[in-house]
Structure 1
Amino acid sequence: MRLHLLSLLVLPLFAAAHTEEQMVLPGAGKEPFEPVVYSGKPLLADLLTIESTASIFFSYARELEISQIFSDPNARSTVLVPTNKAIIALPRKPHEDSHPLDGGVVLSEAEFDAMSKKNVERWVSAHIIPKSPISLGTDGEYETLLSGKNVTFTVAKGDANKPEWTRALLDDSVRLIGMKEASNGVMYLLDGTVKLD
């Protein structure tokens, strides 16, 4: 009964906020009483949390310090998110080294963990362009957060009435199969991954 009464009091407050309006959430800021203004669009972190087809990518990413960019309302990022299916199809997983160690090399658990974390950080960084929005209507090259790694987009033939991102190919072979806008960037779902080597 109490829960029902509470929902009658709280739900009208949320229903009154139109998605394009700003809603102030009291006490949710950094200081005890500083309000946070909600712009109506979720953050990249929110989109990645609810995107079930991207759960493996987000699982790798959220263990890294770099994932803070997804929650930063002031950042502008383009995130290239491989689907779970694309990651599962990889011959070597993101945490594995691209060049296998010799059979006689023995690593301690700490060394193995450090190497795995470094590999994951390189892989995730290669999937983040520190700029948003980007133009996918013409061929272009963009730097990723992985130093020295650029990705290219080319425009393939397709229906000119559809959004430009539907015709873009990443590195000449990977298709963009979905797009979601956030308040701090854009997330593109990929049917493949960014190649490091």
Structure 2
Amino acid sequence: MDSEQVYVPQTTSKPTLADLLTIESSASIFYSYARELELSSLLSDRDKKTTIFVPTNKAVMALSRKPHRGPDPTVEVELTEEQFDKLSKERVQNWVSAHIVPEYPLSLDSNAHNTLLQGKSISFTPISKNNGQGAEWSRVTFEKGVKIIGKKEALNGDLYLIDGTVSTD
């Protein structure tokens, strides 16, 4: 009696960054902004290695002005709906880009790491009261004390959940 060979498709053991964002309910607001942009294809590209810092929904909700609104204007300006939409998309693009570092793996050190937002970089500061215990990401802060509260590894990079947001200035 001949034994049949069974074909088993090759699968990867790790999801992509886009897959992780799809199932990470605490990051749904960030991902809803990111999905509106062309750069979101980077998150599902298996060949592009990247590190993303994803603000939790709570962190985004705590912002005084949401990413599409930009900074509080000091001068009232009349915009057409088309101009407002274009400006909103540009602000979202900048905000999401400021949370993506095109490096992987990323060393969480005091060196400046460029983000996808031109002219914007981030660096990390060791937490002074930490005694070297715990994961590397739990021992640093960046951008005015923003803490990393979790890390998930993907096929195409690392996703760090953060308790604040990266500024676009």
* TM-score, length-scaled by structure 1: 0.78
* Gap regions ≥5 residues in structure 1: 1-12, 14-22, 25-36
1:82 aligns to 2:55 (yes or no): yes
Give the counterpart of 1:118 among 76, 90, 115.
90
Could you tell me which residue of structure 2 aligns to residue 17 of structure 1? none
Distance in 1 (alpha carbons) for counterparts of 2:61 and 2:114: 26
Which 10-residue stretch deviates more, 149-158 or 122-131? 149-158
Could you tell me which residue of structure 1 aligns to residue 29 of structure 2? 56
Deviation at 1:161, TM superposition (A): 3.1
Which structure would you say has the larger RCO, counting Cα contacts within 8 Å and 6 or more residues apart?
Answer: 2
Distance in 2 (alpha carbons) for counterparts of 1:112 and 1:101: 16
Amino acid at match of 1:75: K
> Runs of 4 or more off by more than 6 Å in structure 1?
none
Distance in 2 (alpha carbons) for counterparts of 1:112 and 1:129: 28
Matched ranges for 1:65-104 at <5 A: 65-100=38-73, 102-103=75-76
Distance in 1 (alpha carbons) for counterparts of 2:162 and 2:146: 7
Deviation at 1:116, TM superposition (A): 0.3
1:72-127 deviation line (CA, Å, top 9, x unaligned): 00011100000000011111110012241633x32111111101000000000000
Task: Check whether the contact 1:82–1:192 (CA below 8 A) recurs between aligned residues.
Answer: yes
Amino acid at match of 2:59: A
Give the counterpart of 1:153 among 112, 118, 124.
124
For residue 21 of structure 2, give the secondary structure of its aligned residue in structure 1. helix
For residue 176 of structure 1, give the secondary structure of its aligned residue in structure 2. strand
1:133 aligns to 2:99 (yes or no): no
Q: CA RMSD of the aligned region, Å? A: 1.6
* TM-score, length-scaled by structure 2: 0.90
Could you tell me which residue of structure 2 aligns to residue 168 of structure 1? 140
The structure with more radius of gyration = 1
Distance in 2 (alpha carbons) for counterparts of 1:168 and 1:161: 12
Task: Check whether the contact 1:154–1:172 (CA below 8 A) recurs between aligned residues.
Answer: no
Distance in 2 (alpha carbons) for counterparts of 1:159 and 1:56: 34
Task: Check whether the contact 1:57–1:83 (CA below 8 A) recurs between aligned residues.
Answer: yes
Amino acid at match of 2:34: A
Length, aligned pairs only: 162
For residue 102 of structure 1, give the secondary structure of its aligned residue in structure 2. coil
Distance in 1 (alpha carbons) for counterparts of 2:88 and 2:123: 27
